[in-house]
């Protein structure tokens, strides 16, 4: 249960209101780069998920995911966003064709947080 799907705007807002890190993968089910990074994101979530670091996915292709995506000002799939105590701390778009560098960057960021 490391990665949970956010499907309600109020739930997204409530997660951001909690202390700690919130990591979100904004994706679409019809996005080939999203399918490439999904297992990598899941592996990172399994490694780093704890009471202070929570992992989510938002499917921006369908509502209400599109509404959450607009509120987060995400315009590209996949986009990885990290919030610290409710404020955006890091964001990266995964290019097409996909590169795993943004995923590696996320992992480095999370390694630094555990110090």
Q: What are the start-end ranges of the H helices in 1-115?
A: 9-17, 32-48, 65-71, 101-113
Catalytic residue, from 3, 6, 23, 31: name it. Answer: 31
Token code pair at residue 61: 């292709």
In this prediction, the residues of the chain whose per-residue pLDDT falls under 50 are 115
Token code pair at residue 91: 């964001």
Closest CA to 27 of 57, 72, 62: 57
Decide if 102 is catalytic: no
Q: Which pLDDT value is given to residue 115?
A: 41
Per-residue pLDDT of 39-65, as tens digits, reads 999 999 999 999 899 999 999 999 999
Q: How many structural domains does the chain have?
A: 1
Token code pair at residue 69: 């995506």
Report phi then psi at 8, rounded to 5: -130, 130
Catalytic residue, from 3, 22, 34, 103: name it. Answer: 34
Q: Which pLDDT value is given to residue 114?
A: 59
Q: The domain spanning residue 90 has which CATH number?
A: 3.40.30.10
**What three-state secondary structure class fits 115?**
coil
Distance CA 94, CA 73 (A): 16
Q: Which pLDDT value is given to residue 2?
A: 85
Decide if 24 is catalytic: no
**The model's pTM:** 0.95
Domain span at residue 42?
4-113
Closest CA to 12 of 85, 76, 72: 72
């Amino acid at each position: 249960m490391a990665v949970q799907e956010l499907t309600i705007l109020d739930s997204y807002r409530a997660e951001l209101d909690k202390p700690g890190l919130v990591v979100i993968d904004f994706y679409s089910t019809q996005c080939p780069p999203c399918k490439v990074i999904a297992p990598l994101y899941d592996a990172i979530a399994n490694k780093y998920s704890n009471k202070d670091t929570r992992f989510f996915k938002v499917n921006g292709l369908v509502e209400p995911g599109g509404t959450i995506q607009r509120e987060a000002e995400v315009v590209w799939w996949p986009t990885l966003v990290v919030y610290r105590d409710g404020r955006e701390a890091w964001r990266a778009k995964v290019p097409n064709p996909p590169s795993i560098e943004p995923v590696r960057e996320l992992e480095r960021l999370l390694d630094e947080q555990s110090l």
